[in-house]
Structure 1
Amino acid sequence: MKAHLAEIFNFTCDRDPKHWWSSDGIRPDIGQMLLCPYCGHKNVVTEIVNHTVTLPSVEVEATEQKLPTVDEMVGILNIEGDR
């Protein structure tokens, strides 16, 4: 099986650093204005920090695992009510 890396950008509001959000649909450019979805502050992208990590390929032995049934999950999660 191949795994594919998704590009996700994290944004932090200049007005309040507790306001942060992520998006895989916005590829920002320096100078681009983005509105904080929490407070509406107009933020301007001043820097794009790259935290890319390259992971080595590894050979692994496949093991067969049984996934729990819906009834087993209900018991595991202790869910009550109609299904």
Structure 2
Amino acid sequence: MVKSAKDLLGKDCKIFASSDDMESLGDTKGVHKMQKSTRFTGGIFAVSADGKKELDLTMDTIMSSIRENLIAETLQRIGGE
């Protein structure tokens, strides 16, 4: 995940992860710990150095996207809109 963020947003991007995930990320050079008040379950959130681009690879966002796609596909298969 960290490598993908750096490839997409540049080597100088800011990457945030929960303290619980820091060990499992491997190369954490340049990875910042999320503040405890920020709520997300696993994954990373990255911002380009200029702040114009963001990459949300948090589990909450990934699962939400999968859920939305499943709902849309299910509706399409049963004849909904």
Q: Name the TM-score, length of structure 1 as normaliser.
A: 0.23
Of Structure 1 and Structure 2, which has the larger fraction of its residues in helix? 2
Of Structure 1 and Structure 2, which has the larger fraction of its residues in strand? 2
Q: Which has the higher contact order (CA 8 A, sep 6+)?
A: 2
Which protein has the larger Cα radius of gyration, Structure 1 or Structure 2?
Answer: 1
